Each structure stands twice: as C-alpha cells, then as structure tokens.
Amino acid sequence: MINSYQPQLAKIIKIKNENPIIKSFDLKFVQPKMQHDFGFIPGQFIEVGIAGFGEAPFALCSSPTEKNYFSIAVQRIGPLTERLHRCKAGETLWIRGPFGRGFPEIKEKVILIAGGSGLIPFSSLIKQHLAEKTAGQLMLLCGGRQKNDLIFSQRFSVWQRGGLKLHLILEKKEKDWTGPVGLLPDLVSQVLGGADYEAKLTKAIICGPAQMYQSILRSLFNLGFKDENIYLSLERRMHCGIGICQHCAIGSKYICKDGPVFVWSEIKDIAGVI
C-alpha cells in the first residue's frame, strides 16, 4: 500500500510544451514496485515537490490505463512552478498521493465543460474512456481566450477519432479561427440548447476558473439539468492533500479529502463555495 505521508522519488521521462505557460511532464517512479502499485481515478491529484521550493497539488492528466508512466501538466504561476518549468528530462521530483475523490464513471451521456487549464484533469478521463471503450457518450465543451491558450490541442483530432464530440470557443476573434467566438456559457447554451438528449439523464462536469462557475450553472439549470447531475471540480483550493492544514475547508468539508470533485447538490448550500 502506498503511504500518502511518505514522498516517493519519480524521474521525469518526457517534457512537452502544451501552450506558452503550460508544460506536461511524463513521470515514472524510481522504485519499480511503486510504479506497479500506483493507481488513480481521473479527477484525483498528487502532491509534487522539489527540495528548497516546497510542494503543490497537481491534477493527473494521463490515463489510469497507462501503467508505465503518469503525467501532470504545470502552469507557470509561482516559484515552484517556475522551477518545474526549468526541469529537464532525467531530473527527479518528490511525489505523494494520489488523493481525493475523482470523476464519476462514464455510464451514460456526460458533458465535460472546461475553461482554460480545467482541461487538464479532463484529459485523464477522456483518455481512459477512449482506451477502455466504456459505455456512454462523452462530449467536451472547451473555451479559451485565444488559440494559444488551448492545451492538448494536438490531441483533439485523436480524441475525436475515438468518438469524443468536441466543441471549442474563443473569447477573441482570430483571423485563422472559423469556430464560434464568445464566452464558454454561450457555447453551453448554443450546443446543448439544440442537442438531442434528455437533461435529466445527462451528467455535466465543470472544471476551470472560479469566475465561470456561476454563469455555467445558470445555463445548465435553464437547460433542465438537475443538481444531482452536475459535478464541479474545486481543485484550485487544495494545499496539503490530507486534510491537516485546513486551507481547503468549505463548511464541514475538505476539498482534498471529500473532493476535489463534488456533486452540486451536496455543496450548493455552503456559503462561498464557488
């Protein structure tokens, strides 16, 4: 059993630029037994540390079916992430986890709504769904300010060939962009408003910047989605990963232990939750 309190060394085996401020890192535990025992659910996260810089939580973006490595994607926003962006293949990082509650299984139609880096944890779910060919249908609605903000864009065609229904929107019009322009809630209303589905039997999962949650929730309610079929990832609030520091406390819940994925019906009455 993996001890969540004990960091383990993992080697960087591949680094890829996903956009101007986000890099993905493929990692493999130095101890083969650790790699063999490591398993996770899409939506869970790990703590990644560098001596002298501390540690921070990062969503896993690889599929649990990929047993030879696991992946994170890191946005450059502070000292630790700046140091991570300077890392080279072959360097080692300290890893704890996985932690938290992940996404629901894809057993019916599921709509993923991702703003900006919110696509990072969804990548894990999409890859698992396509690899395992699980029952149900998956649709991704994704938005960014401009094309350079979209991450994993080189994977989009592969995901679509695997059966993912993909819809994109940009906030700014670009000369080589032929898709819709506007905000992500606009895309939700446009695509789902004309879709052939039963809202009562469809799940929607939201992940992205905090400021988009309220408007997307309103769009979903207007379309007939029920509280118990809407899920939110609140990963931005996490810190220690094990419920000790209390930085992520919301009401009586800890995001790192009770989440980061929540059903809206269980948190909607907590003041300031989004």
pLDDT by residue (tens digit) across 102-145? 999 888 889 999 998 999 999 999 999 999 987 788 999 999 99
Tokens of 259: 């989440």
Cis peptide upstream of residue 98 (ω within 30 degrees of 0): yes
User: What's the pLDDT score for residue 239?
Assistant: 75
What pLDDT sits at residue 65?
A: 95
pLDDT at position 261 is 96
> Given this model, what pLDDT does residue 197 score?
63
> Residue 273 has what pLDDT?
86
pLDDT tens digit sequence for 152-170 = 999 999 999 999 999 999 9
Q: Which CATH architecture has domain 109-233?
A: 3-Layer(aba) Sandwich (3.40)
Type of residue found at 223: L
Task: Report how far residue 256's alpha carbon sits from residue 7's, in angstroms, rounded to the nearest whole number.
Answer: 17
Using CA atoms, how far apart are residues 152 and 73, in angstroms rounded to an integer? 10
- Provide the whole-model pTM: 0.94
Q: What CATH architecture does domain 8-99 belong to?
A: Beta Barrel (2.40)
Ranges of the chain with pLDDT below 70? 1-2, 195-201, 236-237
| Separation between Cα atoms, residue 241 and residue 238, nearest integer Å | 7
Q: Which amino acid is residue 93, in one-letter code?
A: L
Cα–Cα distance for residue pair 50/94, rounded to 1 Å: 6
Predicted local distance difference test score (pLDDT) of residue 11: 98
pLDDT at 233: 94
Query: Where, residue-wise, is CATH 2.40.30.10 in the chain?
Result: 8-99
Q: CA torsion sign, 73 to 74 to 75 to 76?
A: negative
Percent helix, strand and coil across the chain, each rounded to 5?
Answer: 30, 30, 40
In the chain, CATH 3.40.50.80 sits at: 109-233
Helix (H) or strand (E) holding 113: strand 109-115
Supply the pLDDT for residue 196: 62
Say which residue the tokens 């207007």 belong to.
222
